Copies of this chain bind each other. A is one copy, B any other.
Amino acid sequence: MNKRVILKQRPDGIPKKEDFEVRIDALQLPLKQGEILVKVEWISADPAQLVWISGVKSYMPPVRIGDTVRAFGVGLIVNSHAAGFKVGTYVSGLLGWQEYCKVHVSKVEKIPMNVNPTLFLGIFGMTGFTSYIAIKVLGKIKKKQVVVVSTAAGAVGSVAVQIAKAEGCKVIGITGTASKIQWLKDIGISDVINYKTENVASSLKTLCPEGIDLYLDNVGGEMLDAVLLNAKKGARMILCGAIQSYGQKKAQPLYLYPLVISKSLKMKGFIVTDYQNKFDEGFRYLESLYKQGNLKYKEDVVDGLENAHTALQKLARGQNDGKMLIKVLHEAPKL
């Protein structure tokens, strides 16, 4: 049997318990050629999920009502009908909110056994790759440039600020609580703006009077406006998320986009899955940073599929403390 969580109705704003339903179904076995059965151990909660369940057309189709909630996860192969994918190996992929996932091996990636598998949902997964693509591939940062990152203490942001710091940039993080500011200081980012208590535009002006070279935006709206106001001529704005607008009827408006003209700015949005050809170099880069002790991370864990929705609530409210994960609790098999 397989316990899974389906989308019962589209959330109105921040997802609620009632938007989801736990189902217990029989697994459609046996496996076909090329398929594996994965015991899902960890599920990733990402801002993009808020878009997927909202019904808004995006780079992936919305999760349909009645379907298992789409999510990245890692798990152990417990049955295999595919050469090279042995039982007892860890894999990652879009495994969904469920205990077991039957999947074709073309949809998953093998994970090395000598590293904590949750890292492949965080710093060595889509999260880390997103930061790498944004800062190194699209951001093309150079030593001593001024880099600003919003949701800097978040899963993507905290990797991004550490990359920029390792590359010799002046890094400014934007975040919203005292504990997040402390965590950023712990990982070596001393210039931090608390957007809840400070005027972001004027704090940026003070911290970087010469202007900003690169902004990694996960927020949009007035925070993007504040950065546009302080952007250097020719600066790059890498748009990676717009968490302020997810689950809202209408995005937070942007007013200062005419500065894109007068300051010759470049604004580039991207979806990490379009850069799969960069994942190998990204992994090597991130792994080397990690081994040097320059890539720290934090995890915030919710226990059990029944509570998976609370992970999305914490993300949407900015209440998560590190990479948001759901630990799947498998009941002991009945004897």
Contact = CB atoms under 8 A, between A and B. Distances in A.
Interface of A: 51, 58-59, 220, 224, 233, 239-242, 245, 250-251, 253-271, 274
A125 to B, nearest CB: 19
10 contacts: A220-B258, A239-B257, A250-B255, A253-B253, A260-B267, A264-B269, A266-B266, A266-B267, A266-B268, A267-B268
Summarize A's interface: helix, strand, loop or mixed. loop
A284 to B, nearest CB: 24
A323 B185 CA distance: 56
Contacts of A262: 51, 58-59, 269, 271
Contact of A241 (B242, B261, B266): B261
Contacts of A261: 239-242, 269-271
A1 to B, nearest CB: 36
Nearest to A250: B255
Contacts of A220: 257-258
Contacts of A266: 266-269
Nearest to A252: B255
Contacts of A268: 260, 265-267
Query: Which one of A250, A254, A257, A266 has the greatest number of beta carbons of chain B within 10 Å?
Result: A257
A271 B263 CA distance: 8
Given A59-B233, A242-B258, A266-B266, 5 more contacts: A51-B262, A239-B260, A253-B255, A254-B255, A267-B268
A287 B176 CA distance: 56
A9 to B, nearest CB: 22
Nearest to A258: B242
Contacts of A264: 59, 269-271, 274
Nearest to A221: B257
Contact of A254 (B51, B240, B254, B263): B254
A3 B1 CA distance: 91
Given A254-B253, A255-B251, A257-B251, A269 B263 contact: yes
Contacts of A256: 251
Contacts of A274: 264
A215 to B, nearest CB: 13
A242 B263 CA distance: 13
Contact of A260 (B58, B255, B259, B269): B269
Nearest to A57: B262
Query: Which one of A220, A258, A266 has the greatest number of beta carbons of chain B within 10 Å?
Result: A258
A28 to B, nearest CB: 32
A121 B270 CA distance: 39
Contacts of A267: 257, 260, 266-268
Nearest to A233: B59
A195 to B, nearest CB: 19
A247 to B, nearest CB: 12
Nearest to A265: B269
A240 B255 CA distance: 16
A134 to B, nearest CB: 11
Given A264-B274, A266-B266, A258 B245 contact: yes
